[in-house]
């Protein structure tokens, strides 16, 4: 009888000790790592520090939200008096597929689109027909063409050499910001130049081209 009572007492103690684990398993899982919108790098936001987008720009571009999530600046260039930004919230999201926002600000007027709409762009086979330096973003309404490597995958055709230069400029600036955020070129290079990251960037042709060029160079070049 005493043995049974002792066994019962032990079981009660065990259940009590495990109850916090059961309670935690019932909670919604929250991701621990943030996701870079250009290269698809997972990073710890407490260790990797990107510049925070100024509140004024968030307000001009109407990208602030009720949760007051901070937007990190992953790329920024200026062209012809216009500013291009690639931004994304730094706090991990439950349904985070890596997409960020691309902002074009001209004279306090803002145009936005998503990173996917910009980076899926391809160069035309027969060269650019359009000349000039028009400041604009590739938009989802641009004409699509079939991707020869995957006929079911539509691609946005870039309209001008200037538009291509803007995208390449954003990617190159993203490298420099990565150096600062990761605390140096070496730790960033170790992450972004992995075979997996380069292969996974296939859907973003210009990003992949710039990645391969960057990773083929010696550090500091």
Tens digits of residue pLDDT in 146-197: 555 554 456 678 888 999 999 999 999 999 999 999 999 999 999 999 999 9
How far apart CA 216 and CA 211 sit, in angstroms, is 8
**Percent of the chain predicted with pLDDT > 90:** 48
- The answer to whether the CB of 164 falls within 8 A of the CB of 203 is no
How far apart CA 53 and CA 87 sit, in angstroms, is 7
How far apart CA 1 and CA 151 sit, in angstroms, is 75
As given in the structure block, the two tokens for residue 100 are: 């960020």
As given in the structure block, the two tokens for residue 190 are: 């170790």
What predicted TM-score, i.e. pTM, was given to this entire model?
A: 0.80
How far apart CA 122 and CA 145 sit, in angstroms, is 9
């Amino acid at each position: 009888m005493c043995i049974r009572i002792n066994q019962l007492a032990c079981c009660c103690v065990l259940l009590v000790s495990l109850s916090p684990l059961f309670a935690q398993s019932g909670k919604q899982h929250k991701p621990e790592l943030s996701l870079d919108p250009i290269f698809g790098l997972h990073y710890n936001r407490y260790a990797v520090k990107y510049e925070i987008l100024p509140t004024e720009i968030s307000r001009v571009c109407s990208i602030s939200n009720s949760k007051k999530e901070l937007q990190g600046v992953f790329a920024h260039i200026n062209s012809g008096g216009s500013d291009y930004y690639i931004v994304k919230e730094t706090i991990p999201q439950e349904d985070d597929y890596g997409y960020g926002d691309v902002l074009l600000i001209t004279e306090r007027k803002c145009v936005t689109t998503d990173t996917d709409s910009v980076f899926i762009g391809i160069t035309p086979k027969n060269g650019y027909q359009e000349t000039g330096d028009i400041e604009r973003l590739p938009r989802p309404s641009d004409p699509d063409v079939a991707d020869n490597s995957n006929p079911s995958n539509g691609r946005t055709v870039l309209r001008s050499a200037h538009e291509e230069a803007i995208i390449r400029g954003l990617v190159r600036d993203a490298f420099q910001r990565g150096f600062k955020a990761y605390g140096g070129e070496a730790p960033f290079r170790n992450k972004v130049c992995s075979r997996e990251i380069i292969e996974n960037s296939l859907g973003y042709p210009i990003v992949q081209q710039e990645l391969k060029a960057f990773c083929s160079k010696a550090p500091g070049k």
